[in-house]
């Protein structure tokens, strides 16, 4: 009888372990590989590029010893690519130029994330990085990097996500040539010192899902041509210097969900045609110089949140906020009295994440109408060139799976001991 009980306990234990492993394997995990799993050309050329970063960040370079870069600290190797995620502020260095004599067709680095280094990472944005045509993700947020946005980066046609958020020394204009970066889905320049106009040529960036230009110095009018940006979900221009009227042509933005246009220098009437945007959820317009009322077609869309001064929504709006019938005066003259608002200055509130029905694990916003391609990943994940979300190294899926497997092994050992003891 005791032997029978032990066998029953053992069978139950094995069933529990199998169930646990099946649950933990449900998330997509990229298979970790060894350096030897890459071709000789991939090993040599990828190693040469990594060593350039090691020379530019000396303390990190001291840890990158030997030929097997898959064993180096902060380097992750997957089935077909390599990611570099420096998750510590203990290192200091600069951005390196790309070395000569490298065949970049065989460089398999797809992710570079140096954001954790913060102000200890400096240097200008190198034009030579345009050689890394396989790079899909580049994160340099909150660092001390400087210089202008290199027009040459237009050659980085695999780039999906580029974050230079709060890099306050980044200046210059938005390169029109970046319009050829047709894979770019997520561009964050929030808090940089970029200036100049919004390039009409960017209308060909049909994969661009999120564009953050908050608190930059960009100016000029909103390009009507951007109606062709069919994947644009979130446009954030809060606090920028853009002016002019809201283009009625933007009604063709079929994926637009959130338009952050508050605290700019915009004017004119609100185009009723914007009600044709099928996915629009929020339009923030406070702190501008609009005239007229919120169009009735907007009001009828109960799912759209319109943030604007009460004067544009009041009962007497049609008589108090009449738009001028003549051409507005030149910027050198006074347009009209300042519009009083309920507060001295609008309080910026976090933009709620747009609702999505994504099927991609770790995804916050899907790309356009596709539920299988991600435009922006949740915190702790990064966007891959296949438009999926992969967990960061420290919080990664692979780490979670290995931890779950270890837990399963411990659980099995404990249950076995209990079962055998019975």
Instruction: Round to whole Å and give the CA distance between 37 and 25.
Output: 23
Confidence category of residue 3, pLDDT binned at 50, 70, 90: very low
For 66-109, the pLDDT digits (tens) are 999 999 999 999 999 999 999 998 999 999 999 999 999 999 99
The confidence score (pLDDT) of residue 410 equals: 42
pLDDT of residue 334: 47
Give the pLDDT confidence of 183-203 residue by residue, as tens digits: 999 999 999 999 999 999 999
Indicate whether 419 pLDDT > 60. Answer: no
Decide if pLDDT at 9 tops 80.
Answer: no
CA–CA distance, 359 with 383 (Å, rounded to integer):
14
What domains lie within the chain, and their CATH numbers? Answer: 30-118 (no CATH), 136-314 (3.80.10.10)
Q: Is 257 helix (H, G, I), strand (E, B) or coil?
A: coil
The closest alpha carbon to 274, from 290, 292, 291, 259, belongs to 259
Instruction: Please list, in sequence order, all residues whose beta carbon lies within 8 angstroms of the beta carbon of residue 107, skipping any fewer than 6 positions away.
Output: 42, 45, 46, 49, 132, 134
Beta strands in 256-342 (DSSP E): 258-260, 265-268, 282-284, 289-290, 305-307
What per-residue confidence (pLDDT) applies to 392?
61
**Higher-confidence residue: 314 or 256?**
256
Nearest Cα neighbor of 287 from 309, 313, 270, 319 is 309
The better pLDDT of the pair 309, 403 is held by: 309
pLDDT at 348 > cutoff 60: no
Residue 381 has pLDDT above 90, yes or no: no
**Going by DSSP bridges, is the β-strand pair 186-188/161-163 parallel, antiparallel, or unpaired?**
parallel
pLDDT value for 264: 98
Q: What is the pLDDT of residue 36?
A: 84
- What pLDDT was estimated at residue 326? 53
Q: Which of 14-23, 46-55, 275-284, 296-305 has the lowest mean pLDDT?
A: 14-23
Mean per-residue pLDDT for 20-37?
A: 53
Name the most confidently modeled range: 17-31, 188-202, 387-401: 188-202
Place of tokens 């009295």: 337
> Is residue 158 pLDDT above 90, yes or no?
yes
Residue 344 binned pLDDT confidence (cut-offs 50, 70, 90): very low
Distances in Å between the alpha carbon of 133 and those of 104, 164, 324, 386?
A: 7, 19, 51, 15
As a whole number, the mean pLDDT across the chain is 83
CB 58, CB 93: distance < 8 Å? yes
Question: Whole-angstrom distance between the N-terminal and C-terminal Cα of the chain?
Answer: 10
Which whole number is the average pLDDT over 304-310? 96
pLDDT(338) > 60: no
User: In a 10 Å sphere around its CB, with 0-12 CB exposed, 13-18 middle and 19+ buried, how is residue 289 labelled?
Assistant: middle
Instruction: Give the residue-averaged pLDDT of 228-243.
Output: 98
């Amino acid at each position: 009888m005791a032997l029978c009980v032990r066998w029953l306990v053992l069978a139950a234990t094995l069933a529990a372990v199998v169930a646990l492993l099946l649950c933990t394997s449900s998330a997509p995990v990229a298979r970790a590989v060894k350096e030897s799993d890459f071709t000789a050309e991939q090993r040599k050329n990828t190693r040469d590029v990594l060593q350039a970063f090691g020379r530019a960040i000396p303390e990190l370079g001291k840890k990158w010893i030997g030929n097997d870069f898959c064993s180096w600290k902060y380097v992750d190797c997957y089935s077909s690519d390599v990611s570099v995620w420096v998750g510590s502020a203990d290192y200091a260095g600069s951005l390196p130029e790309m070395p000569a004599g490298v065949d970049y067709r065989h460089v398999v680095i797809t992710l570079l994330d140096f954001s954790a280094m913060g102000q200890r990472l400096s240097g200008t944005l190198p034009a030579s990085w345009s050689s890394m045509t396989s790079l899909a993700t580049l994160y340099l947020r909150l660092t001390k990097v400087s210089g202008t946005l290199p027009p040459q980066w237009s050659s980085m046609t695999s780039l999906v996500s580029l974050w230079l958020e709060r890099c306050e020394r980044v200046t210059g204009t938005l390169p029109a040539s970046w319009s050829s970066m047709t894979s770019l889905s997520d561009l964050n320049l929030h808090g940089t010192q970029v200036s100049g106009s919004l390039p009409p040529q960017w209308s060909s960036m049909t994969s661009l899902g999120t564009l953050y230009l908050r608190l930059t110095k960009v100016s000029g009018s909103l390009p009507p041509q951007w109606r062709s940006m069919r994947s644009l979900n979130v446009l954030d221009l809060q606090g920028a210097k853009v002016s002019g009227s809201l283009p009625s042509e933007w009604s063709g933005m079929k994926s637009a969900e959130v338009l952050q246009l508050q605290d700019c220098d915009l004017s004119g009437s609100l185009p009723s045609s914007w009600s044709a945007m099928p996915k629009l959820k929020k339009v923030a317009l406070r702190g501008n110089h609009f005239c007229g009322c919120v169009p009735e077609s907007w009001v009828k869309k109960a799912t759209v949140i319109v943030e604007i001064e009460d004067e544009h929504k009041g009962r007497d709006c049609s008589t108090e906020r009449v738009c001028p019938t003549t051409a507005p005066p030149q910027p050198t003259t006074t347009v009209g009295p300042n519009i009083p608002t309920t507060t001295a200055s609008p309080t910026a509130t976090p933009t709620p994440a747009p609702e999505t029905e994504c099927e991609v694990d770790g995804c916050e916003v899907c790309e356009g109408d596709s539920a299988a391609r991600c435009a922006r990943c949740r915190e702790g994940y990064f966007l891959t060139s296949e438009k999926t979300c992969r967990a960061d190294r420290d919080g990664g899926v692979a780490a979670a799976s290995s931890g779950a497997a270890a837990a399963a092994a411990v659980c099995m050992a404990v249950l076995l001991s209990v079962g055998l003891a019975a």
